[in-house]
Structure 1
Amino acid sequence: MTKDIEQRLKNKDINPTAMRLLVLDFLMQQNAAISLTDLEKGMGPSDRITLYRTLKTFEEKGLVHHIDDGTGTTKYALCMEECDADHHHDLHVHFYCQQCKETFCLPNTQIPEITLPKKFRSEEMNLVIKGVCDQCNPD
């Protein structure tokens, strides 16, 4: 297992330090996107700055993407394999459950193509649907 995690870091040109291995392992175990605070709580006694820098490195190298789900707290989730340092290819819908307060990536639900007016240049796109997730929905 550790070899797989180490290789995943190396594939993204990330030096596999002990902390980076632990953070990636923790992220791989999550079912929903997590905030820095969630990561800090889950990692036990860890330096918040080191965790933040680790997430930023992962994001810069195309290993994680950040999500603005409207809660005021940035969340992070693992990227698709084809993301890299130059471009994130995971333009998918995110879902925020108003009951359990979790944010989920829906990678099979793509953001529809949007045509912008001339001279408008898109730099980032985020589509968040809010409602009740499958775990909280009684139906």
Structure 2
Amino acid sequence: MVAQSTTKRFEELLEKHQLKKTTARLNVLSTMYGKKSATSQPELESVLQDIDRVTLYRILNVFEEKGIIHKVFDLNGTANYAVCSSGCEEHHHHDEHLHFNCKVCKSVFCLNDMSLPNIKLPAGFRAEGFTLYASGLCPSCSSKKA
């Protein structure tokens, strides 16, 4: 069961983005905030069995539009979703951080604290965002291999 203070925080987040406080939305937020890595819709479906596929799809879409979560792709091209930083806004994500794909467990991690290089584009190009990926072994899989 989700702690009452956590539920209150999620309700305030939904209010901030002018979204109805439904049980399904609160459960999706609770599940996503409880994960250390990004998660795919099929993974969420397996955990949140009381939410049908279409409802979950709509929740993920509206959360992404509102800047609550962002989409990141794994090594197989599958969309995964991760909680955004507090700097994200509706239709304008600030998820320009390193995304790490583990080749063993297939998890996708947002490495928010990494310093990224300043990217200077050629004249005429205007970036509205970028994604940087790295792949290898996550700490858990590295320790199992050692």
The TM-score bracket by the shorter chain reads over 0.9
TM-score scaled by length of structure 1: 0.92
- Give the structure 1 partner of residue 3 of structure 2: none
- Match for 1:80 among 59, 78, 85? 85
1:5 to 2, 6, 10: 10
My pick for the range that moved more, 4-13 or 29-38, is 4-13
Task: Give 1 or 2: higher helix fraction.
Answer: 2
The residue aligned with 2:42 is 37
Any idea what SS the aligned residue of 1:19 has? helix
Alignment-derived partner of residue 21 in structure 1? 26
5+ residue gaps, structure 1, are none
Residue number in structure 2 paired with 1:51: 56
| Superposition TM-score, scaled by structure 2 size | 0.88
Percent identical among aligned pairs is: 41
CA distance in 1 between counterparts of 2:73 and 2:126 reads: 20
List aligned pairs for 1:73-112, cutoff 5 A: 73-112=78-117
Unaligned runs of 5+ in 2: 1-5
Q: For residues 110 and 86 of structure 1, do their structure 2 counterparts lie closer, same or farther at Cα, with a shift above 3 Å needed? A: farther
